[in-house]
Amino acid sequence: MNDFARALRTWRQTRRYSQLDLALEAEVSARHISFLETGRARPSRDMIARLGDAMGLPLDAQNTLLTQAGFAARFVARDWLDAQMAPVRAALAHTMDSHAPYPAIALDRDWNIFRLNTPARRIYAAFDLTEGDNLLDLVLSDALPPLVENWPEVAHHTAQRLRTESAAAGGIKAFDAAAMQLAQDTNKAQPSDDHAIVPMVLRTDSMRLALFATIAHFGTPQDLTVDALRIELFFPADDATRQLLEAMDAAP
């Protein structure tokens, strides 16, 4: 069994597909999938693309499958200032800046902070966190839990998200380790029916914010950087938070 065959089988099992399931999704025979996984058949570039699409693989994973099969990588990470990235830059800026006075943050796949809008920059400054830093460092620090009123609930949902994102990427050791660390606090979580969605309730000496987030990504990426970007838009969970965010935005 060659590297491609092992990787294909691992991804299929990670996605919880049988060989027949994957064959139906990729519109090939289950026998051909079996031959690819045992190394008896060699895939074409087109076949690897079909399998990647069928399993919803990240673009970097599809590149890895291509190189393991002896082909050149298909997808590149363009420079952020490349002319072809102009529509992406504009969409990101419009989405995040228009979201003010509410905070918005863009992360890459490893939770490195790619961009903050002005309200988010103000909030994260309290933690000495800015663009280029890693958000996971804050989540796992001793500084955050005492400032989050409902930390056990937040830790529980954050651990779930980390596990989900790790599985989707084929396994991210740092995420799996972080989820295990956060799980130590999740046993203290008490299920609550008070909210339709669980907010993060952040309290510092100068503010109390109850926030929840939506997460967006680009729907048709053909670039590694674009594929990895996630935009988190935070919203107030109560009127007091809304008023405070609006006041902060109006302040000189």
Residue pLDDT, tens place only, 10-58: 999 999 999 999 999 999 999 999 999 999 999 999 999 999 999 999 9
Last residue of one domain, picked from the residues 36, 68, 100: 68
Instruction: State how far Cα 48 lies from the chain centre.
Output: 24
Do 146 and 226 fall into the same domain?
yes
Do 87 and 145 fall into the same domain?
yes
What CATH number should be reported for the domain holding residue 137? 3.30.450
Where in the sequence is the domain holding 42, given as residue range(s)?
A: 3-68
Looking at the domain assignment, is residue 34 inside a domain? yes
Looking at the domain assignment, is residue 172 inside a domain? no
pLDDT at residue 187 in the model: 63
pLDDT at residue 241 in the model: 97
pLDDT at residue 190 in the model: 59
Angle separating helix axes 59-68 and 3-14, nearest 10 degrees: 150
Please tell me the pTM assigned to this model.
0.89
pLDDT at residue 250 in the model: 83
Instruction: State how far Cα 1 lies from the chain centre.
Output: 32
Q: Residue 230: pLDDT band by 50, 70, 90 thresholds? A: very high
Q: Are 1 and 39 in contact (CB under 8 A)?
A: yes
How deeply is 221 buried, as exposed, middle or buried, from its count of CB atoms within 10 A (0-12, 13-18, 19+)? middle
Q: Are 130 and 122 in contact (CB under 8 A)?
A: no
Looking at the domain assignment, is residue 99 inside a domain? yes
Looking at the domain assignment, is residue 118 inside a domain? yes
Residue 215 neighbours by CB distance under 10 Å: 10
54 residue type, one letter: A
Looking at the domain assignment, is residue 186 inside a domain? no
Do 41 and 94 fall into the same domain?
no
Looking at the domain assignment, is residue 111 inside a domain? yes
Question: What are the angstrom distances between the C-alpha of 12 and each of 53, 67, 188, 241?
Answer: 12, 18, 35, 44
Query: What does the pLDDT look like over 166-223, one tens digit per residue?
Result: 999 999 999 999 999 998 876 655 556 667 889 999 998 888 999 999 999 999 999 9
Do 143 and 218 fall into the same domain?
yes
Last residue of one domain, picked from the residues 68, 94, 117: 68
What CATH number should be reported for the domain holding residue 50? 1.10.260.40
pLDDT at residue 107 in the model: 97
How deeply is 43 buried, as exposed, middle or buried, from its count of CB atoms within 10 A (0-12, 13-18, 19+)? buried
Do 141 and 87 fall into the same domain?
yes
Do 41 and 107 fall into the same domain?
no
